[in-house]
Amino acid sequence: MKSPDAFRTISEVADELDVPAHVLRFWEGKFKEIKPLKRGGGRRYYRPEDVDVLRSIRTLLYTQGYTIKGAQKYLRETGERSTPRASAPTQGAPTSQSAAAKPAQIDLPLGGLNAQQRRRLQAASIELERIRDLLRKRK
């Protein structure tokens, strides 16, 4: 196991965050806060700080339902570099995608849902993630 201070490859970070490597490369173009070290052949090496930012972005997009622009604004305004808490302010957090959806897969408009429906959807998303993790452990 690597030291917490060790640099990580894109595949290691993708596995840790459970997102495809191409999504990390896409986020790199969208979020100026992500600055991996690039070596020969364009290989990316992520510092622990980069992984923290990526974890925050993942939480904002996949758990809290922010859009890319909303997440950019949140990071810019808060300067937050670690994973936001579940109670993080959601003002200005557009809800044009499902909390469980990954941008490249599904884009569900949630504007017509009330707060209780959103909470139920988020709870279902968390439960589905737990089930997915259990299934992966069985493999």
Element (H, E) at 56: helix 48-58
pTM: 0.58
Report the phi/psi class of residue 41: left, alpha or beta, with left for phi > 0 and alpha for psi in -120 to 50: left
Looking at domain 8-138, which of 3.40.50.300, 3.10.290.10, 1.10.1660.10, 2.60.120.260 is its CATH number?
Answer: 1.10.1660.10
d(CA 2, CA 108): 38
From the first residue on, what is the mean pLDDT of each consecutive set of 10 residues in the chain (139 residues)? 81 93 94 90 90 92 90 85 47 42 42 69 78 79
Sequence letter at residue 62 = Y
Q: Please give the pLDDT value at position 125.
A: 78
d(CA 31, CA 15): 20
Q: Please give the pLDDT value at position 111.
A: 57
Q: Please give the pLDDT value at position 68.
A: 92
Q: Please give the pLDDT value at position 20.
A: 93
Q: Please give the pLDDT value at position 80.
A: 64
